[in-house]
């Protein structure tokens, strides 16, 4: 049982330093060993608008932004007015009493006015820091923790700035100690400090662990964090990063690089992915392995650039014209992204096909804590039947003939093998010259689509490529049922919603007396149809939870298994699920009120 489980909300305009204030807080909690989840609700605007950052921390598991806020730090009147009504008995509202006037608060909400002019002096921007000092004091966290993180945060700005901010933090801390009532339970300090990551960082780091040497991108929210991390770290790590003229160029360029044998990757969002589609088909046709991450945001078209959605499932399923093998995976969390990218590269290399990742704003821009021990940068690397110019890479152990025993007269790049997988020599290897063509081609790469069209060969090559997929599924971990084996209701989710659904299952059991379990889907293509059917046919009632309007996964499940769910919980307002949204919806569906619940989001941003 957790000793503490609290959430701090920080609200204000873009440009008021909310993100950095949140970073400081998240890092303090993580360094203390707490589990952390932070979600920032913001808009596509550089200055102004309204941003609301929720940071939740606990010594128990933290898998979502949670259901409540224990502390509100409004940095402007708008934020105070919007969110005061969310605050319940026992919570604290910390604000600049020189500038802000609170309205009516619920009974038991402790208003904590701070005269910031007196505490901060002329430094108007430091009110955030003073407020953090007071909040940490109330949480029972010593001020040294804040001072250490401030020193880290302002490292580049010099000692004078650090000293000034540390002084203001202490001022806020002391003001809190003298004027506000602390929370009844002090925040514990655990032995093992945690690391703080976003999903975009773990995506980039997963690429690093996989051995990516070429990363290309066109900036697009919410995927830009991958580019930024790669750009900041590429030089030390020996990775080439290119910002390309458009996403069409991005995908074609990484295919070119991958075709020479290096591991190449890109990340984008739905609009960029749409531009890449034709080239992803090329990767399928010329059998060049690449990995592309789609960080989904609310669509269609420009949609809501800063809001989350699971709306691109069918786009990935249908990307590019024609039939070709592809592997699609929807990781469940930031840490899962880190582990999945190398696994997907191994599969893409082995099966010589594109690997596509469905991430979304929730986990990719969302911050969480991870145990540093879980960040293993040396995963297993498998490159399949690759033949490189320096003789490395194919893993066939044939030291006598590093090029796999082939030569110009015997080598067929697209040899029609039993597995469908053909030995892949890259340009630069002597004796293996061939053409990689997007036109249909023969085993040796010769085009059959022009004057030589041949239905027998066409059929052979379609089947050869398709056959590769037959052995992929056996290598993927099947979905596991979470919770009791038999339950009143089975919640099914995919991708980023794993954490919030799991919390909802726990909350249903603990607070509502409803026995629920959870089947979470990660591998989309190929799909564990038999195993999922087996699991779901044992369920009394199946409800699919997803962050889109039309039930994209529900339709996919039906197409792959014939299984139709009993009920649906869908959210498509741009904001992620909170556990209680799912709990309330399950209750109304169990009561027979509806088979389709669309929870309303109560935080207005």
Partner 1 sequence: MSTLIESAPSPEMAKSAAQLVKDTYKGKVHPDWCPGCGDFSVLSALQTALFELGLQPHQVVVVSGIGCSSNLPGFLNTYGMHTLHGRSLAVGTGVKMGNHDLKVICVGGDGDGYGIGGNHFVHTMRRNIDITYIVMDNQIYGLTTGQTSPTSVKGMKTKSTPHGSVENAINPMPMAMIGGATYVARGFSGKQKHLVEILKGAILHRGFSLVDVFSPCVTYNKDNTYQWFNPRVKILEEQGYEPTDFHKALDKAYQWDNEIPIGLIWKRTDLPPLEDLEPVLQDGQGPLATRKLGITDEQAQAIIKELL
Q: Binders of partner 1 among 216-245, rule CB under 8 A?
A: 216, 233-240, 242, 244-245
Stretch that binds partner 1, among 118-126, 164-172, 188-196, 490-498 (CB under 8 A): 188-196
Phi–psi pair at 291, nearest 5 degrees: -120, 130
Does residue number 19 form part of the binding site for partner 1 (CB under 8 A)? no
Contact 283, 255 (CB under 8 A): yes
The smaller minimum CB distance to partner 1, of residues 262 and 525, is found at 262
Phi–psi pair at 109, nearest 5 degrees: -85, 125
Does residue number 262 form part of the binding site for partner 1 (CB under 8 A)? yes
Does residue number 451 form part of the binding site for partner 1 (CB under 8 A)? yes
Contact 543, 521 (CB under 8 A): no
Nearest distance in Å: CB 74, partner 1 = 29
Indicate which single residue of 101, 428, 453, 595 sits in contact with partner 1 (rule: CB under 8 A): 428
Q: 141: closest CA among 290, 33, 279?
A: 33
Does residue number 390 form part of the binding site for partner 1 (CB under 8 A)? yes
Does residue number 542 form part of the binding site for partner 1 (CB under 8 A)? no
Nearest distance in Å: CB 169, partner 1 = 20
Indicate which single residue of 84, 100, 114, 429 sits in contact with partner 1 (rule: CB under 8 A): 429
Does residue number 155 form part of the binding site for partner 1 (CB under 8 A)? no
Q: 201: closest CA among 384, 98, 2, 334?
A: 334
Nearest distance in Å: CB 255, partner 1 = 6
Does residue number 264 form part of the binding site for partner 1 (CB under 8 A)? yes
3-state secondary structure of 91: coil
Nearest distance in Å: CB 219, partner 1 = 15
The smaller minimum CB distance to partner 1, of residues 202 and 517, is found at 202
Contact 49, 43 (CB under 8 A): yes
Please report how many Cα atoms fall inside a 13 Å half-sphere around the Cα of residue 395, on the Cβ side. 12
Indicate which single residue of 372, 398, 410, 549 sits in contact with partner 1 (rule: CB under 8 A): 372
Contact 426, 384 (CB under 8 A): no
Identify residues 189-208 at the interface with partner 1 (CB under 8 A).
193-197, 201, 205, 208
Q: 481: closest CA among 530, 509, 507, 517?
A: 517
The smaller minimum CB distance to partner 1, of residues 106 and 435, is found at 435
Contact 584, 30 (CB under 8 A): no
3-state secondary structure of 463: helix
Does residue number 4 form part of the binding site for partner 1 (CB under 8 A)? no
Stretch that binds partner 1, among 187-195, 456-464, 572-580, 592-600 (CB under 8 A): 187-195
The smaller minimum CB distance to partner 1, of residues 194 and 307, is found at 194
Indicate which single residue of 43, 221, 260, 584 sits in contact with partner 1 (rule: CB under 8 A): 260
Stretch that binds partner 1, among 45-53, 106-114, 351-359, 376-384 (CB under 8 A): 376-384
Please report how many Cα atoms fall inside a 13 Å half-sphere around the Cα of residue 60, on the Cβ side. 10
The smaller minimum CB distance to partner 1, of residues 323 and 376, is found at 376
How does strand 240-243 pair with strand 212-217?
A: parallel
Identify residues 462-501 at the interface with partner 1 (CB under 8 A).
none
For 579, residues 6+ apart whose C-beta sits below 8 A from its C-beta are: 64, 66, 67, 500, 503, 504, 507
Does residue number 248 form part of the binding site for partner 1 (CB under 8 A)? yes
The smaller minimum CB distance to partner 1, of residues 115 and 428, is found at 428
Does residue number 300 form part of the binding site for partner 1 (CB under 8 A)? no
Stretch that binds partner 1, among 112-120, 278-286, 502-510, 524-532 (CB under 8 A): 278-286
DSSP structure class, residue 493: E
Which structure tokens are listed for 72?
């509100």
The smaller minimum CB distance to partner 1, of residues 193 and 473, is found at 193
Stretch that binds partner 1, among 68-76, 394-402, 446-454, 462-470 (CB under 8 A): 446-454
Identify residues 25-44 at the interface with partner 1 (CB under 8 A).
30-31
Q: Before 501, cis peptide (omega within 30)?
A: no
Does residue number 368 form part of the binding site for partner 1 (CB under 8 A)? no
Which structure tokens are listed for 222?
């919410």
The smaller minimum CB distance to partner 1, of residues 217 and 557, is found at 217
Does residue number 211 form part of the binding site for partner 1 (CB under 8 A)? yes
Stretch that binds partner 1, among 43-51, 64-72, 80-88, 428-436 (CB under 8 A): 428-436
**How far apart, in whole angstroms, are the C-alpha atoms of residue 327 and residue 318?**
12
Contact 463, 540 (CB under 8 A): no
**How far apart, in whole angstroms, are the C-alpha atoms of residue 517 and residue 586?**
12
For 384, residues 6+ apart whose C-beta sits below 8 A from its C-beta are: 349, 350, 351, 352, 395, 421, 424
Which structure tokens are listed for 518?
């959870």
Indicate which single residue of 89, 318, 322, 378 sits in contact with partner 1 (rule: CB under 8 A): 378
Indicate which single residue of 131, 134, 210, 505 sits in contact with partner 1 (rule: CB under 8 A): 210
Q: Which residues, in sequence order, are bridge partners of residue 447?
A: 441
Residues in the chain: 605
């Amino acid at each position: 049982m957790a000793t503490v489980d609290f959430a701090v909300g920080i609200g204000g305009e873009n440009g008021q330093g909310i993100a950095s204030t949140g970073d400081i807080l998240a890092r303090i909690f993580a360094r203390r060993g707490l589990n952390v989840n932070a979600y920032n609700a913001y808009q596509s605007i550089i200055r102004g608008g309204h941003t609301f950052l929720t940071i939740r921390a606990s010594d128990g598991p933290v898998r979502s932004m949670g259901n409540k806020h224990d502390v509100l730090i409004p940095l402007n009147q708008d934020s105070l007015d919007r969110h005061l009504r969310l605050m319940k008995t026992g919570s604290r509202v910390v604000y600049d009493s020189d500038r802000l006037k609170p309205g009516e608060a619920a009974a038991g909400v402790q208003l904590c006015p701070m005269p910031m002019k007196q505490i901060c002096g002329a430094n108007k921007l430091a009110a955030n820091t003073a407020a953090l000092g007071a909040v940490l004091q109330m949480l029972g966290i010593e001020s040294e923790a804040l001072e250490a993180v401030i020193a880290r945060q302002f490292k580049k700005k010099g000692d004078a700035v650090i000293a000034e901010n540390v002084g203001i933090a202490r001022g806020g801390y002391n003001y809190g100690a003298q004027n506000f009532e602390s929370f009844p339970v002090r925040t514990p300090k655990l032995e093992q400090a945690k690391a703080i990551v976003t999903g975009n960082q773990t995506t980039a780091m997963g690429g690093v662990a996989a051995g990516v040497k070429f990363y290309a991108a066109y900036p697009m929210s919410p995927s830009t964090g991958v580019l930024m991390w790669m750009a900041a770290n590429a030089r030390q790590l020996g990775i080439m990063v290119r910002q390309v003229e458009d996403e069409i160029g991005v995908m074609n360029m990484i295919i070119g690089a991958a075709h020479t044998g290096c591991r190449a990757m890109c990340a984008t969002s739905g609009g960029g992915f749409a531009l890449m589609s034709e080239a992803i088909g090329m990767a399928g046709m010329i059998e060049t392995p690449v990995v592309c991450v789609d960080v989904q945001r609310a669509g269609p078209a420009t949609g809501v650039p800063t809001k989350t959605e699971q709306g691109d499932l069918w786009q990935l399923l249908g990307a590019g014209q024609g039939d070709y093998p592809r592997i699609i995976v929807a990781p469940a969390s930031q840490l899962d992204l880190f582990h999945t990218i190398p696994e997907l590269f191994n599969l893409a290399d082995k099966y010589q096909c594109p690997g596509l990742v469905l991430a979304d704003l929730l986990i990719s821009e969302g911050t969480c804590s991870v145990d540093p021990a879980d960040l293993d940068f040396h995963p297993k690397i498998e490159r399949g039947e690759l033949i490189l110019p320096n003789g490395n890479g194919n893993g066939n152990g044939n030291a006598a003939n590093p090029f796999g025993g082939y030569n110009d007269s015997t080598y067929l790049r697209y040899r029609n093998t039993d597995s469908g997988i053909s030995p892949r020599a890259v340009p630069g290897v002597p004796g293996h010259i061939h053409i990689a063509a997007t036109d249909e081609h023969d085993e040796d790469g010769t085009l059959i689509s022009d004057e030589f069209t041949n239905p027998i060969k066409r059929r052979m090559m379609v089947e050869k490529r398709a056959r590769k997929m037959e052995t992929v599924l056996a290598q993927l971990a099947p979905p596991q049922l979470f919770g009791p084996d038999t339950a009143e209701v089975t919640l099914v989710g995919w991708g980023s919603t794993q954490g919030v659904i799991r919390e909802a299952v726990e909350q249903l059991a603990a607070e509502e007396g409803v026995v629920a379990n959870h089947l979470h889907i990660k591998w989309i293509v190929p799909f564990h149809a038999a195993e999922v059917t087996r699991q779901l046919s044992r369920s009394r009632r199946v409800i699919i939870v997803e962050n889109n309007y039309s039930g994209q996964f529900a339709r996919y499940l039906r197409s792959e298994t014939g299984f139709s769910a009993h009920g649906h919980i869908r959210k498509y307002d741009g904001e992620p699920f909170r556990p209680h949204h799912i709990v309330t919806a399950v209750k109304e569906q169990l009561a027979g009120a509806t088979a389709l619940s669309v929870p309303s989001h109560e935080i207005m941003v």
